[in-house]
Amino acid sequence: MDALVERVTRQVAMRTSRRGMLALIGRVILGAIALPLLPVERVAARAHAAEPAPGEGDPLSCDYWRYCGFDGSLCGCCGGSTTECPPGTLMSPTSWVGTCRNPVDGKEYIIGYRDCCGKDNCGRCFCQNNKGDLPLYRTQLDNGVTWCYGTSSFVVNCTTAVKLALKS
Amino acid sequence: MRAGFHTLLNVLCAALWLAAANAFAQTPPPEGVRVRELGPVAPHWVFLVSPAGLDSEISTKVEIVDGDSLQMLGMLTGGLLGIAALSRDRKFIFTADTFYSRGSRGDRTDVVTTYDARRLAPVREVIIPPKRQMHIPPDSSAMALTSDGRLLLVANLTPATSITVVDIANNQVAGEIDTAGCTGVLLSGPRRLQSLCGDGAMLTIDFNDSGKAVGAKRMAKPFFDPEKDPVFSVPAMLGKTAYFISYHAMVYPVDWSSDPATAQKPWPLVTDAERKQGWRPGGYQPLGAYAPGGLFYVLMHRGGEWTHKQFGIEVWVYDAARKQRVDKIVLPRPAAEIHVTQDRDPRLFALSLPEPGGMASGPTLQSFATKTGRYLGAMDQLPGFPMWIFGP
């Protein structure tokens, strides 16, 4: 499963631009069709992304369910959100992955912890949970790796938590 | 009248001269300002690598502390998520760093810098390919110096893995060694390295002075199961045996005298009762070795699954040959990292970090005499956020 996720992520990363990647993530998360990135849609998307379903918990809290394998500053505390990078940062198309259980539907999801790179450490809402975190020999599961591959800077500002897939 | 005026002037001049001379005599001699130099690296000195503060991560600090007086001796300032090592003759400190031309952006330069250990000043540098491994916490498997001090091996992660070999003697990049599927540089011979692979096997690579692999052998089968009981990346080295410890408190010894390395029988760090109580290793640097005594030290806490980075409250000491715990040191405050010196009167150092949401306090280094377990004191207000300790 991990190998599959890694392969898919890499292929997507190789074939898409960063903007394309952002749009793809938007579609996956929101289940939306491809929309042009007009300001109105962007505001709407942010509102969606920042608001979890009832019962999911507080995405600005380290015990929010998606953060079970988290390590870093929550982007929601740094000008972004659970699924968005703060302005001017670079969202990495690569990430380490965790498997977290959604308390609302009881299902396990593969979560991609995508770093927002290119600006110095935000430092707010530092959160480290480590579920599924393995040492470097399992690189894709290592939350200590600076996951800025595919961007132009390995300085990490904060980290997002994006639902990639339902665990099969 | 005119003569009288002259006399008065002479008297006034004399008085002024005397006053000036008097004032000059009262001025203290000029102070002997200078930049300090250090003596030779002593056995209880410790080097703390702080890769990132909570507000910045673009300049790594290497802090040098006298473990006896618990005083700061000086520091090095590096780049993004750097790592450091000390030469065997203790005359030089090497760092591998990454810099961007505009701080957090711009052109990337990866560089190995050689520092004079007495002046803590850079003396040489070699630009290396811009792909060195950056990881928090940094650890000593990211960079290693051969025993003859000629070659420095720097781990790369793109995220494909390889090793850049720097020829220190000639101050140039010698070559690159491929370690596909395996990470880290652990030296086990003058020109032999070990790398830990994703399936739980060990890769043994022989290399030459040109920085090229001349032979590579992999264990026939894994020595641990990364899915069921992952090991921490850096082992305790006692003689030719590497002792890896696992998330679930097992010891996995690996014999590095054979080619390829061979696994020995695993054994537990805890009794069944201790396991039930939740005792397990954890922290950023949970393992220390005392090679002269055949002992290793493990930072332990009580916790559940996936608490492998939780700070430890006790240090358990093991005799590797007897496969037995021989001592237990209770820490005054929880620690994230431990380090043991290699001299005849060894010290155990335990580094405490501020915990998120905890009391506001700076990083603190605690010192213990390992023979008695006696607490010797602590040094507070350490700069940055030290996450790895090494020493001579």
DSSP H or E stretch at residue B58: none
Q: Which two tokens stand for residue B274?
A: 């201790």
> In whole angstroms, what is the distance from residue B174 CA to residue B128 CA?
10
Band of pLDDT at residue B57, cut at 50, 70 and 90: confident
ipTM of the complex: 0.89
Query: Contact B159/A139, CB-based, under 8 Å?
Result: yes
Could you tell me if B273 lies within 8 Å of chain A, comparing CB atoms?
no
Q: What is the pLDDT of residue B6?
A: 63
Query: Contact B104/A152, CB-based, under 8 Å?
Result: no
Rg of chain A taking only CA atoms, in angstroms: 15
Looking at the partner chain, which of B135, B184, B307 has a beta carbon nearest the beta carbon of A145? B135
Q: What is the pLDDT of residue B21?
A: 58
Query: Contact B233/A144, CB-based, under 8 Å?
Result: no
Least Cα distance to B250 among B267, B265, B230 occurs for B267
- Verify cis geometry, omega within 30 degrees of 0, for the bond prior to B260: yes
Residue B314: is its pLDDT beyond 60? yes
For the stretch A108-123, what's the b/e string if a residue is b when 16 or more beta carbons lie within 10 angstroms of its beta carbon?
Answer: ebbbbbbbbbbbbbbb
Mean pLDDT by 10 residues, chain A (168 residues): 47 42 38 35 43 85 96 96 97 95 96 97 93 96 95 97 93
- The catalytic residues of A are 96, 115
Looking at the partner chain, which of A123, A132, A138 has a beta carbon nearest the beta carbon of B306? A132
Residues present in chain B in total: 392
| Torsions phi, psi for A44 (to 5 deg) | -60, -45
With respect to residue B30, please indicate whether it lies within any of the assigned structural domains: no
Q: Where are the domains of chain A?
A: 2-166
Average pLDDT over residues B217-234: 96
Question: What CATH number corresponds to the domain at position B175?
Answer: 2.130.10.10
Whole-number percent of chain B with pLDDT over 90? 86
Q: Does residue B7 or residue B238 have the better pLDDT? A: B238
With respect to residue B290, please indicate whether it lies within any of the assigned structural domains: yes
> In whole angstroms, what is the distance from residue B377 CA to residue B349 CA?
10
Residue B16: is its pLDDT beyond 70? no
Band of pLDDT at residue B354, cut at 50, 70 and 90: confident
Put simply, whether the predicted model's pTM sits higher than 0.90 gets the answer: no
Angle between helices A2-15 and A18-30 (to 10 degrees): 130
Q: Over chain A, what HEC string results?
A: CHHHHHHHHHHHHHHCCHHHHHHHHHHHHHCCCCCCCCHHHHHHHHHHHHCCCCCCCCCCCCCCHHHHHCEEEEHHHCCCCCCCCCCCCEECCCCEEEEEECCCCCCEEEEEECEEECCCCCCCCEEECCCCCCCHHHHHHCCCECCCCCCCCCCEEEECCEEEEECC
Identify the CATH homologous superfamily for domain A2-166.
Methylamine/Aralkylamine dehydrogenase light chain (2.60.30.10)
Whether B336 contacts B284, CB under 8 Å: yes
Each residue's pLDDT tens digit, B183-201: 999 999 999 999 999 999 9
Whether B297 contacts B290, CB under 8 Å: yes
With respect to residue B22, please indicate whether it lies within any of the assigned structural domains: no
Strand, coil or helix: what is B29? coil
With respect to residue B10, please indicate whether it lies within any of the assigned structural domains: no
Q: Which of residues 42-71 of A touch B (CB under 8 A)?
A: 62, 71
The residue assigned the tokens 């358990």 is: B316
Segments forming the whole domain that contains residue B280:
35-390
Could you tell me if A24 lies within 8 Å of chain B, comparing CB atoms?
no
The runs of H, that is alpha helices, within chain B are 2-26, 272-276
